[in-house]
Structure formats: C-alpha cells, structure tokens
Structure 1
C-alpha cells in the first residue's frame, strides 16, 4: 500500500470463531454508542473499546480514558484472542514487537462513514496500527501526510487486516459511506477492530 503499510487479505479468518465470542463479551459490558465531536456533531459510526484505556470524544476533545464514560467502570480487558490476532498480523507486516494496550471498536451501518483523519492521540507513534475488518465490505481510503495528498481506495472484506506504521504511521485514512448489504453473521453492519499501543 505504501512504505510501512500492508493489506493482509483474509488474515483474520483462522481466528474468527474466538474473535466473535470475545466481541460479544466486550459489547455486553461496554455497549456501542455514538460519540460527539468537540464541535458538537454526533459521529455516524458507533464505538466502544477494550483494553487498558478507551478512545473517547466529547465537547472537551479527543483522548484515551481508562474509564468508560457510559458505565463509569474500567473498559473490559482485551481478550486474548484479540491480542493474538493483532500481534500475529503486526508480525506478518514486519512489526515483530507490537503489543497493543487498547482496541477501538467501530460499528458501521449503511451510510455510516469515517472522514479522513490521522491517528495521533497515542503517546508513542513508533508503534503501528492494526485494523481488522468484519462484516459488510467497505472502501478504505489511504492517503499521505497531508489531507491534500492523493487518496488510494482499497476494498476491504470480512477478515481482511490492514497494518500501517513507520513512514506511513500518520497517513490520513478513512472509510467511505457503507453500502447496503447483508452479511451472514453481522447482517447490515461492519465491525472494525483497531489495535493500538496508546499509553
């Protein structure tokens, strides 16, 4: 995809059963919710987290918080199956020493999107991002260090994994509006698991 960025087709398939079980357990504790941006807009993508902290957004800004603002309890621990998948994908992409401490989970419904943005709220940007796609297909946009750089579009399907770091760690990226569809497991939705070393 770019220097430091790799698309691993169907890489999550061998982990699927354990990932689905763990996903349900996390969401039972900390449900998906629509966050509000600092500008007061509600995000079209529903989010939750697991791990040592969770990425949250409200009128005060973007940040990682060890407490779920909805439950006022710590976020669910990261399941071992999540950690194993993230580490194996990172290793396959050339990042052998990646140990994520957070997983941001996004749920897309038809018409949901994620505008071009950089992942830069983490303390140490030397670590990669590992992004796992589940459910309906989506179009992933991957650009450069400037919002005006050329955008390349990549179709992502169930079990695909994207890993980016190094020279492309701060590249702009996003998801185009999700199209209507029906997945045998996730029905009319797409779930994205994004692993990071944030703290």
Structure 2
C-alpha cells in the first residue's frame, strides 16, 4: 500500500473544484515540528471516540485544540469551550499550527483566515467518515483547512447536495486541502482507511481540521 500511495512531494496548488484547492506536500518540510506540537496537545486532551446523537460510537477517535472544540453526544453536534472528558478548557492552538493554517489558506486564495478551533481526527484501518457538511460554524465565509498526516486516504468531495456526484481524491502525508467559497458547504468524507504503515505515525492517519467556529 505504501508503494501505491507514497508521501506527496510539494507541488503547485491544484484546483479540484471552485473554492477547493489541494496543496500537495505543503507540510512535509515542517512535519517533525507539527507532529511534536500535536503530541503535546494530545497529552493534555487524549483522543477519544465520541457518541453520535443517535447513540452510536464513532469509528474515528477525536480531540481538539483552540478556543473551541467540536464535540458530539446525545445532545447533538456542537462546539464547546471545554473538554467534556476533563471539564477543562481545550489546549491552546499551537502558534505554529495556527500560522501554517493561515498561510495555507492564503495560498489557496483565502486571506486573513485565523482559526480558533482545530479538530484532530485519528483514523485506524477500517475507520471512515461518511459524507457530511460542516455546518456547525457561525461564519461560512471562512474556509476549512485540513492537513493529512500518516497513512494515505481517499477523500470524497461532492457538491452541496448529498446525492451529488463526488470525486475521490488521494490524500497523502503532508497534503493540505482547503475548501471555502462555493465549496464551503460541499459534502465530503473519508473512505474506509486501508491497512498500511507510515514511518512517523505507524498504522494511523491523523487529520488536523482548522476552522473558524
């Protein structure tokens, strides 16, 4: 699998759809510092599998950093300024990550983006994220910025209707995907993660999704 999905090399921005841009390999140069920053966050707010409003356990483990964190339980999907597992504020968003997210957004054409919430998702082989829209934020004028680390994945990018046709886009370690503007409310998801091994993260994929919540 690693031979089929090698880590990306830094490439020019690739427009996937109006408002959606792939920045392949953009994080490779900073991968060690990024991973150290993520590990420090996870030491304070460990990954956990949350419950959906319907009572199902998600296959993807999650945590957050920033002023707000995205959570799910029987009360619904929402942002909270506290980690429900500890009752404490979420760890601060590391300045390195905040600055990189702003730079990546600007590269994709969205100036002045400043994230106040970073959702950390951990996928293991078999984990998936079904097609959904990111609608819990207050300002849809701001883009979503997602960094992929570890095992490769296939990202599904559709239209603003669930039944719209969708692209299947390979995402590799170090890739950044930015979508906003006409793509801000596109349906998107991750296909079941295939088995594999990555030298930095082992048999996992971790995504960092930066938002203005």
TM-score by length of 1: 0.99
**Offset at 1:85?**
1.3
**Offset at 1:96?**
1.1
Residue 95 of structure 2 corresponds to residue 113 of structure 1: no
Residue 139 of structure 2 corresponds to residue 129 of structure 1: no
Decide which of 95, 99, 102 is 1:84's aligned counterpart: 99
**Offset at 1:81?**
1.1
Equivalent residues in 2 for 1:38-187 (5 A)?
38-187=53-202
**Offset at 1:84?**
1.4
**Offset at 1:20?**
0.9
Q: Can you list the C-alpha shifts for 1:157-179, whole angstroms capped at 9, x where unaligned?
A: 00000000000100000000000
Q: Secondary structure of 2:165's partner?
A: coil
Residue 40 of structure 2 corresponds to residue 22 of structure 1: no
In structure 1, list runs of 5 or more residues that go unmatched. Answer: none
Cα RMSD of the aligned pairs, angstroms, is 0.5
4+ runs of 1 displaced by more than 6 Å? none
Q: Can you list the C-alpha shifts for 1:29-67, whole angstroms capped at 9, x where unaligned?
A: 000000000011100000000000100000010000000
Q: Distance in 1 between matches of 2:102 and 2:85?
A: 29
Aligned length: 198
Q: Can you list the C-alpha shifts for 1:99-125, whole angstroms capped at 9, x where unaligned?
A: 000000000000000000000100111
Q: Which residue of 1 aligns with 2:12?
A: none
Q: Distance in 2 between matches of 1:163 and 1:145?
A: 16
Q: Can you list the C-alpha shifts for 1:144-195, whole angstroms capped at 9, x where unaligned?
A: 0000000100000000000000001000000000000000010000000000
Report if aligned partners of 1:136, 1:181 keep a CA contact under 8 Å in 2.
Answer: yes
Report if aligned partners of 1:15, 1:85 keep a CA contact under 8 Å in 2.
Answer: no
Q: Distance in 1 between matches of 2:102 and 2:127?
A: 28
TM-score by length of 2: 0.92
**Offset at 1:18?**
1.4
Q: Which residue of 2 aligns with 1:196?
A: 211
In structure 2, list runs of 5 or more residues that go unmatched. Answer: 1-15
